[in-house]
A and B are shown apart, each in its own frame.
Chain A
Amino acid sequence: MKGTWQSGVGALALVGSGTALADYAYNLQTPASGVAQDVFQLHNLIMLVCLGIFVVVFTAMFYSLWKHRKSVGHQAAHFHENTTVEVIWTVIPFIILVGMAYPAARVVIDMKDTSSPDMTVKVTGFQWKWRYDYLNDGIGFYSNLSTPRQQIDGTAVKGEHYLLEVDEPMVVPVGKRVRLLVTANDVIHSWWLPAFSVKQDGIPGFIRDSWFKADQIGTYRGQCAELCGKEHGFMPIVVEVVSEPDYQAWVAKKKGAAQTAAADHGRIFEIAELMARGEKAYQANCAVCHQENGMGLPGTFPAIRGSRVATGPIADHIKVVMNGRPGTAMAAFGPRLSDADIAAVVTYQRNAWGNKMGDLAQPAEIAATRLRVAKASATQ
């Protein structure tokens, strides 16, 4: 009896490891950090325990279903209640659980230990994109889905990383303890990267932390894991793990790009330039709700084409874009976009799809609006 029990578990272990090796699609993704490795093994262990119990209990049940059928003439016994048996089947599961609780608790404690990081990145969830702020290096950027709409609508062939690709990935150096400060701007999001076994909800108004240390150079992909509205399925997470020199080079490049952008602030733009820039900014920030054609979605998201805002005074239009509409899905884009981008997007909305206002906004006006708002709140 003991022999069959042991060989049974052995066979199960074989099946378990076999499926794990054959194709990761039957198990958790290949772990790429120490914690993820621990979680992977913990999951295999508990699966094995469950399979073992399942086989024992249901072998007994199906044996009974076969042997104790009325149709083969089995007479019902009339026993019931047996304290010894009942105590045994209460105590044994309890002991198994205590055995499971110990390794699980160790991993929990390791996962929650965010002390002594090598670097800290603040991750902010937006509807529907991520923002990464590198607190040590002073750089920050948004990360948007880069899969073209045509692939989603089925008018173009879907690429290899369909829905799991972004314009600006998060980049981290290999082998460094990265502490994440996760929060959100509007609703709750969840930053999930399976290969590192990190899933941390971003809660607006609060900061929670998590950490990972990537073992190997490579590109790792994940998704938002908390329902956050219409485009919840379309805000992926991509982390590129690179060598330390590559990381430093990336940081330098990012800082250079920030300086170029800063130079835009004082410039005077032509309308054609604003329209081109505005179209890009519109597609990246507005089109998911208000649609590419500016028609919105009746009942859910208002149209911009022919709307009172886009055909009314430009100052009010700028205010709506910068401050949003509290209590609705319309976010405040003031803190998110540069002066030049806000000027461009407002100009675009007033002059696209049959809106023919003919006026335009300059980055300097946006900067002035910001100043007014800051002064007003300071005097309050």
Chain B
Amino acid sequence: MSDAAHAHPGHHTHPTGIMRWLTTTNHKDIGTMYLWFALIMLFSAGSMALLIRTELFQPGLQLVHPDFFNQLTTMHGLIMIFGAIMPAFTGFANWQVPLMLGAPDMAFPRLNNWSFWLLPAAGLMLMSSFLLPGGAAAGGWTMYPPLFIQGGISYDLTILAVHIMGLSSIMGSINIITTILNMRAPGLTLMKMPMFCWTWLITAYLLIATMPVLAGAVTMLLTDRNFGTHFFNAAGGGDPVMFQHIFWFFGHPEVYILILPAFGIVSQIIPTFSRKPLFGYASMVYATASIAILSFIVWAHHMFAVGMPVAAQLFFMFSTMLIAVPTGVKVFNWVATMWKGSLTFETPMLFAIAFVCLFTIGGFSGLVLAMAPVDIQLQDTYYVVAHFHYVLVSGALFSIFAGIYYWLPKWTGHMYDERLGKLHFWLSVIGMNIVFFPMHFLGLAGMPRRIPDYALQFTEFNQIATVGAFIFGFSQLIFLTVVLKTIRGGAKAPARVWEGAEGLEWTVPSPAPYHTFEVAPVLSK
């Protein structure tokens, strides 16, 4: 350590306190900040979800005004996607990609700093828009015009925040792609690198391809709102549906941006606790790439109820169904990896197994929704809400929990409290199913989404969902406790934290020193 410090005298003098975090170019510091930011956003948007569920506990308007209800659903969606899930995955990428590749840092450390520090600004804009006249944007996270044209100043602020977050994502992606393509340890070929790096490489390309599209769409919204253009106004020769096409051309790849890194994390964890290599490494890579490519030709399945020609309806139905094939390959691969392994069930593995099982339920409801005629019944109902929460909560979020438990000992040097971790797991998995499973029935029975009040026949399932939401929501405080406890102390973690763990990150001590791999590692075998 001290030799390394002498070789780089600058490292002695890096700033401390707040200046350390503001000026840092260290991938571990930046990764940590991304993850804390994501956690704060998770709790903010989660509180909004609890307010929503409280209002929906019984029919009638009790707690919130309908307009405020729409503000809550809009901000819950935007903040969870852009503030919690995406930054959490970028945080993992910052910590893990250089460690997994044997690289000393990210390719562009200063860009990295800026990518992160844009986010709190955008997050602050979204949160503070609640305080503006008229409250926050209430047009839905999908921002459909003409409804989104009607609102006040906070709508412009939301558009600006989306722009900034997009900018942050694009810069982060450039950084990740450059790091992965150029900074792998000698001998670590692309087809040998950990699956997490592969999924992030593909995700980063998706981000670069689609974020500018979103930026274009919201810019047109902005000029329609403020500068008299008519991109989305039929009276001026525009078309409101054009926004939906552009938005979902971004939006569907975005769905995979939110899930591919999750696939990567789970593909690291399952082999470790099965003590057996990933069954089909190459087919996993190809399946990930296929999903990414298909994601560009399925967007209009979000728009079956808009009314498209038969040919378009059929094309988007078939292409959407096709996604089930590579997704199936992934699930089969995870099961085959566990098959005849030597399994143990530490908290990361529990979350990973729950991921495989529950994500598959979300996949199946996706298949049901892919059938255009059935989708006509289920579009914009609670069935869709159930579907995307199965893939985003028990999918993306559970993989994030799994990844935190898996790598936290490496990051902090301490083992987490396994008993508390398991308690967090069980309460989360039970709570999550109580919230979201009944929503399938609500949607089938005909309850539209985004409504603050509902007809009497929907009461029971809504009450069950609300109870589940509180169990799920408050059990996340256990997670916070575990993380804080692990940072402050706990059993000393060895370099190779898990018996079955493979990869370069387990060759450095725990906690990982501030600077790692200043000399490229030599790969064994």
Residues of A within 8 A of B (CB): 24-29, 35, 38-39, 42-43, 46-47, 50, 53-54, 57-58, 60-61, 64-65, 68-71, 74-82, 85-86, 89-90, 93-94, 97, 100-101, 104-105, 107-109, 111-112, 151-154, 158, 160-164, 182, 186-188, 190, 192, 194, 197-201, 203-206, 208-210, 222-234, 297-300, 327-329
B234 at the interface (CB under 8 A from A): yes
Contact (Cβ within 8 A) A71 B135: no
User: Chain A residues near B322 (CB, 8 Å)?
Assistant: 97
- The digit string for B336-379, where 1 denotes a CB below 8 A from any CB of A, is 11111111100000000100110011001001100111101101
Contact (Cβ within 8 A) B324 A93: yes
Between A and B, 28 residue pairs with Cβ closer than 8 Å are A25-B445, A25-B457, A39-B374, A46-B368, A54-B361, A65-B338, A68-B340, A70-B342, A74-B343, A76-B340, A77-B340, A77-B341, A93-B325, A105-B317, A108-B373, A160-B456, A187-B147, A192-B448, A203-B306, A224-B448, A225-B381, A231-B66, A232-B66, A232-B70, A232-B448, A233-B451, A234-B453, A299-B134
A246 CB → nearest B CB, Å: 26
Contact (Cβ within 8 A) A162 B450: no
Contact (Cβ within 8 A) A197 B65: no
Shortest beta-carbon contacts, A-B, top 10: A205-B234, A233-B451, A208-B307, A299-B133, A76-B342, A107-B373, A50-B364, A77-B340, A76-B275, A187-B147
Contact (Cβ within 8 A) B240 A204: yes
User: Chain A residues near B335 (CB, 8 Å)?
Assistant: 57, 60-61, 64
A361 CB → nearest B CB, Å: 28
Interface size class of B (residues with CB under 8 A): 35 or more
User: Chain B residues near A100 (CB, 8 Å)?
Assistant: 321, 371
B280 at the interface (CB under 8 A from A): yes
Known: A188-B147, A190-B305, A223-B448. A158 touches B332 (CB 8 A): no
Known: A69-B343, A226-B380, A232-B450. A201 touches B306 (CB 8 A): yes
B426 at the interface (CB under 8 A from A): no
B401 at the interface (CB under 8 A from A): no
**CB-contact partner of B144 in A28, A154, A227, under 8 A:** A227
Q: A223-B446, A227-B140 are in contact. List 9 more A-B contacts (CB 8 A).
A: A35-B373, A39-B373, A54-B361, A93-B325, A101-B318, A194-B377, A199-B379, A205-B239, A233-B450
Known: A81-B279, A104-B371. A229 touches B150 (CB 8 A): yes
Q: How far is the CA of A7 from the CA of B413 in the complex (A)?
A: 52
- The digit string for B43-60, where 1 denotes a CB below 8 A from any CB of A, is 000000000000000011
Contact (Cβ within 8 A) B305 A201: yes
A160 CB → nearest B CB, Å: 7
User: Chain B residues near A43 (CB, 8 Å)?
Assistant: 368, 371, 374, 377
B395 CB → nearest A CB, Å: 16
B225 CB → nearest A CB, Å: 8
**CB-contact partner of B275 in A35, A57, A70, A186, under 8 A:** A70
